[in-house]
Amino acid sequence: MQVRYFGWVRSRIGISKEEISLPTHIDTIALLIDFLKTRGSGYLQAFEEIENIRAAVNQEIAPHDTKIFEGDEVALFPPMTGG
């Protein structure tokens, strides 16, 4: 699965995208975030305020309980500040 990061989620993790091989029990965005938090302090910092983490699945905004599948493009980022 391709995972993309934007804004301060990206700058805290230090990379803008990566390929993740999903362990089979990781099937929602919330579980993906928990899984990513085990990967190091940058991830921990990026996801410490979970209420400020927005997600998109295949470029559509998606709540944290959304089911995810191996071929999906998942993006994690702070609240958007367009305009």
Helix (H, G, I), strand (E, B) or coil at 62: coil
Closer residue to another protein (CB): 21 or 71: 71
CB atoms within 10 A of CB 43: 19
Interface with another protein in residues 42-81 (CB under 8 A): 56, 59-61, 75, 77-81
Q: Does 4 bind another protein (CB under 8 A)?
A: yes
Which distant-in-sequence residues (6+ apart) come within 8 Å of 63 by Cβ?
Answer: 29, 55
Closest C-alpha among 6, 7, 50 to residue 29: 50
41 vs 52, which CB is nearer to another protein? Answer: 52
Q: Is 10 in the site for another protein (CB under 8 A)?
A: yes
Q: Give the residues lining the site for another protein (CB under 8 A).
A: 4, 6-8, 10-11, 56, 59-61, 75, 77-83
